[in-house]
Structure 1
Amino acid sequence: MKKRHLTLPLLLIFVLVLSACGNGKFKADTDWKVEPFEYTNQNNEKVSLDSLKGKPWLGMFIFTRCTTVCPPMTMNMTDIQKSFQDKGLEDYKIVGFSVDPEVDKPQVLNKYLNSYPVPDSSKWEFLTGYSQDEIADFALKSFKTLVKDNPADDQVIHGTSFFLVDQNGVVVKNYSGAQDVPFDTIAVDMETIIEDGK
């Protein structure tokens, strides 16, 4: 009899702990408001902060002539999208800002995107249509990340983080995008933020 009395309170405690862990509430690490923008995507369509609102998105800074970090970053993002698909996630976007806008015209970005095994290209917005100075200023103010032209060659210095932006256009988390990418964490965070927004 005593054993049964002891088991019930322990079971109740276990259930309470589990329910506290699984409440699905997203915990933000940052609170950086993305400045309003309207740029052009790889399909020559206008994309703005307003048009993205209502869905969370993963942002990154890349360019097509990049010989170092951009190819692995883009491949990592395709793998992240596969993990989103595995979870059945639909209400999200992936946004890449070109840091080499003079070269990265819409058709160039389109060709670049098509060179990767992207599971669903309709979720991707590769953006251009601004000056080098504009994107450097935008990256610093909205994402606290560096974009700097390198006069010595055709490469652009830029950060390698992936940024999770919520449904209201606020950067709530950032992750390593080139190496040691936390694929599972990103997928769980995206799932949680989508659920919280319903």
Structure 2
Amino acid sequence: MPHPYRTLSACALVAATVFTGCADDTSPADSRSTADAGETADAGETADSADVEFARAMIPHHEQALEMARMVPGRDVSPDLVDLAAEVEAAQQPEIDTLTALLRRWDAAPPDAGRFPAGRPTPPGTAPMSGMMSAGDMTSLERSSGPAFERRWLVMMVEHHEGAVTMAERELANGTNSEARALAEEIIAAQRAEIDRMNDMLHRGDHG
């Protein structure tokens, strides 16, 4: 008959082994990994004042670019300009939608469409909108056509794009939200490429 103390010792050894195995499954290293993942996710979701200002300013800035792009059809301009204007509209409307969604996620009110027309002072809480055209600039563009319109449009849009690049660079310098910063990088790359393209059109074309 087995000795009772030996049986008890064997059971204690099994229990200790099981307990040790369970403890390994929830090691401090695993806990740290989980915490780090949570912190990374939180960092991507939060936004500071620079991120909010960037989004609130870039929306009306893009809206003015859309207004200019929608003037192009029917102006007796080159097919290259028609294509470029269509590409500007196709790229910037989705960016407006993304910026609006980010602001809502951050519990920050997005600007109303058309709230900041050309020539009106920028409201508090919105970063400066570099490269915005004045009301007079937009009226002059609207009243032109043909080669004169094309040249004026290209000159204005180069300045407008340069302003967007400045605003996006400000976001990279000051913002912390990963999605806003990624969008700023996309804006810089796309608009610099379009600036080069428009300057090439200005130099090689006959726009009056």
- TM-score normalised according to structure 2 size: 0.35
Q: Which has the higher contact order (CA 8 A, sep 6+)?
A: 1
Structure with more of its chain in helix, by fraction: 2
Q: Give the structure with higher Rg (CA).
A: 2
Structure with more of its chain in strand, by fraction: 1
- TM-score normalised according to structure 1 size: 0.36
